[in-house]
Amino acid sequence: MDPKETSRHSSVLIIGASRGLGLAIARQYAARGARVIATARGESAPALSALRHDHPDTVEIERVDVDDPAQIDALATRLGERTVDLLFVVAGVSLAPVDEAAADISTEDFVRTMTTNALGVMRTVERLADRVSPGGTIAVMSSGQGSVTNNTTGGFEVYRASKAALNQLMRSYAARRASEGRTLLLLAPGWIRTDMGGEGAGLEIDEAVPPLVDTVEAQRGTPGLRYLDRHGATVAW
């Protein structure tokens, strides 16, 4: 194996890995030799089960729904004293069509988008941070659409707002925990063909995820919060 492709994070916990980008990230880390704990929220996650079958000694499957604080607590309890080098929270939803104005979304969908993409992610980060080794990395899947500066075209109004909220919440987290010395990352992976990204997306999962993981790997051991695209370039807040 190319040494570049051996994971610098030797153990990773990936939240939201049943399909899409989270699953592909779990596959990348398993292929790079890391110990992987990958979570799904349903009882059945066939693609993750197949990954575990291929890597029986290094891949574990856990369960958590980030909308449910009790499930996050239960996961933390099950992990016990175990630590990981990387916590990567990938879970997210996009519930409204591109052209739906924020004022037209149902209150239920607004609350669910904000709960999963911002509050649920931050609860997961807060509750599991102690399971990340000192000097380890906490990565969170944001989006280029979370950039306030770059929002000149509009669209996906509530989804954008949820990722901007996530970015702001991570800045507050980073300020409050600045002395801890962990690497904190908000990632903008690009527009990728997944269930969420849709058929019109410009990138295949296999094009986007390896460079994204390379970027997370390159950031290991560099404390502080950064908002980066998959190639490691800074995204304007």
Ligand X SMILES: NC(=O)c1ccc[n+]([C@@H]2O[C@H](COP(=O)([O-])OP(=O)(O)OC[C@H]3O[C@@H](n4cnc5c(N)ncnc54)[C@H](OP(=O)(O)O)[C@@H]3O)[C@@H](O)[C@H]2O)c1
Interface ranges with ligand X (CB under 6 A): 16, 18-22, 40-42, 65-67, 90-93, 116, 120, 141, 143, 189, 191-192, 194-197, 201
Q: Which is nearer to ligand X, 16 or 136 (CB)?
A: 16
Q: How far is the CB of 1 from ligand X (least distance, A)?
A: 26
Q: Which is nearer to ligand X, 5 or 62 (CB)?
A: 62
Q: Which is nearer to ligand X, 40 or 122 (CB)?
A: 40
Q: How far is the CB of 39 from ligand X (least distance, A)?
A: 7
Q: How far is the CB of 135 from ligand X (least distance, A)?
A: 25
Q: Which is nearer to ligand X, 110 or 191 (CB)?
A: 191
- As beta bridge partners, residue 237 has none
Rounded CA-CA distance 237/221 in Å is 23
Q: How far is the CB of 10 from ligand X (least distance, A)?
A: 24
Q: Which is nearer to ligand X, 60 or 180 (CB)?
A: 60
Q: How far is the CB of 90 from ligand X (least distance, A)?
A: 5
Token pair 């404390």 is at which residue? 223
